Amino acid sequence: MEGEGIIKLSKSSVSRYEIEAVTDVMQKEYLGMGLQVKEFEDAIGTYLRTQKPIVCVNSGTAALHLALQSLDIKCGDEVLVPTITYVASFQAITAVGATPIACDVDEESFVIDLHDAKRRVSPNTKAIMPVWYAGDISRREKVYLFAKSMGIRVIEDAAHAFGSEINGEVFGSEGDIICFSFDGIKNITCGEGGAIIFSKEFEAEAARNARLLGVDGDSKKREKGLRSWSFSVNMQGWRYHMSNINASIGIAQLKRIDEFKIKKKLLLNAYINELKKIPGCEIPKFDFEGVFMHIFVILVSENLRDQLRKFLLSRGIESGIHYPPNHKLSFFKTNYILPNAERFAKKCISLPYHVDLSERDIKKISKELRNFFNERNDESQTY
Ligand SMILES: *Cc1c(COP(=O)(O)O)cnc(C)c1O
């Protein structure tokens, strides 16, 4: 594009607050896990209005892995998971030696389809891992009722949903286990990072130890800037703790979350207003009221999708596909088909959606979409 920047699908929003926070940690010269991590865990608790134990780790994937491990889910166990998710959800399940049971998705919200999930329950099923696609948490209660009726645990992959609301209240204070991601493009970021909201203190304690190589009680010491020189290890652990640098970015981002929400709502409404007038663009029926939307996804005819992506890119507009179904990947291949998910994956396209977009960007993207579909509609009228 001549001189004009490309419109990115997604990006972090970094203000002077994040830069000041990181500089501050740098100047203190304590970069690893210490005070700021505890401060960030407390800030998350305050934001979610919960006293529940919160454990920060270095990625959303690590959060899912440690959540599974702390429930003692292991080899021989099965976990129900929607096939439409980032591969992280599947990898976290195989990381503990368990088997991910790929399930179909609901046709409206693209979260796990409970009718399909029910068919795939076995005596080995230990948990369900719903993924709040795009941040829509409106099916949460149904998933919990299902899990209760099956006697299984819930590990929420809420990587898309930090800050989403039910009845005007941010969710996170109720539930079994909730995992968030703070990677570079999530609703708020730490650069890289994740958090687990536990409902049982002993499970949180297991995760606190597991994030520090299984060293018993090391988390508590590090909050005070101390280290364990003589210690006991009773479990498999990992190097999953969060650093003070990442935590300080998270603290700064959390202070901006209301501003992010307002901006993203504005962009969302701008998109909906423009796109509802374009035949060929289908806007999913999400719960737009409560969702703090992470990605903006539309559905188009499957024989036009890849063409549209190329067309947009030629106009300087990035797009994405969230997600190719995991049950088609060779490592996770199933011998059954998941029709809704397979159809969805051919039709979905994610449009640029991040805090630093302007309404003008949305107008430009919409104009290009209109151009694309006008050309196609004209052609289709010639026979
Ligand atoms: C981002 C994401 C994850 C993993 O989080 P990371 O912080 O990138 O490890 C897991 N599940 C879903 C649905 C995600 O979008």
SS3 233: strand
Cα 181 to averaged position of ligand 1 atoms, centre (Å): 6
pLDDT score of 228: 79
Q: Are the C-beta atoms of residues 292 and 187 closer than 8 Å to each other?
A: yes
Mean local confidence (pLDDT), 29-34: 94
The answer, yes or no, to whether any atom of ligand 1 lies below 6 A from the CB of 240, is: no
Cα 134 to averaged position of ligand 1 atoms, centre (Å): 12
* 58-114 pLDDT per residue, tens: 999 999 999 999 999 999 999 999 999 999 999 999 999 999 999 999 999 999 999
Which amino acid residue places its CA nearest to atom 5 of ligand 1?
60
Model-level pTM?
0.96
pLDDT score of 223: 87
44/31 Cα distance (integer angstroms): 20
The answer, yes or no, to whether any atom of ligand 1 lies below 6 A from the CB of 187, is: no
pLDDT score of 4: 61
Q: Are the C-beta atoms of residues 292 and 164 closer than 8 Å to each other?
A: yes
pLDDT score of 18: 98
116/105 Cα distance (integer angstroms): 8
The answer, yes or no, to whether any atom of ligand 1 lies below 6 A from the CB of 131, is: yes
Mean local confidence (pLDDT), 172-183: 98
CA distances from 291 to 1, 55, 57, 158, 330 (A): 34, 24, 25, 12, 33
The answer, yes or no, to whether any atom of ligand 1 lies below 6 A from the CB of 138, is: no
Mean local confidence (pLDDT), 8-29: 97
* 193-210 pLDDT per residue, tens: 999 999 999 999 999 999
pLDDT at 383 over 50: no
pLDDT score of 227: 81
Choose the residue to mutate in 65, 157, 321 for probing ligand 1, maximizing ligand atoms within 8 Å of C-beta: 157
H/E segment holding residue 379: helix 359-380
Percent of the chain with pLDDT over 90: 91
75/72 Cα distance (integer angstroms): 10
pLDDT score of 381: 53
pLDDT score of 377: 74
* 220-238 pLDDT per residue, tens: 988 888 887 889 999 999 9
pLDDT at 151 over 70: yes
58/238 Cα distance (integer angstroms): 11
The answer, yes or no, to whether any atom of ligand 1 lies below 6 A from the CB of 156, is: no
Q: Where are the beta strands (DSSP E) in 136-247?
A: 153-157, 165-166, 169-170, 177-181, 194-197
Report the atom number in ligand 1 closest to the C-alpha of 294: 15
Mean local confidence (pLDDT), 50-55: 98
Report the atom number in ligand 1 closest to the C-alpha of 182: 7
pLDDT score of 9: 98
Cα 377 to averaged position of ligand 1 atoms, centre (Å): 37
Mean local confidence (pLDDT), 290-294: 93
pLDDT score of 380: 58
pLDDT score of 382: 47
Q: What is the average pLDDT value for the chain, to the nearest integer?
A: 95
Mean local confidence (pLDDT), 240-265: 98
The answer, yes or no, to whether any atom of ligand 1 lies below 6 A from the CB of 83, is: no
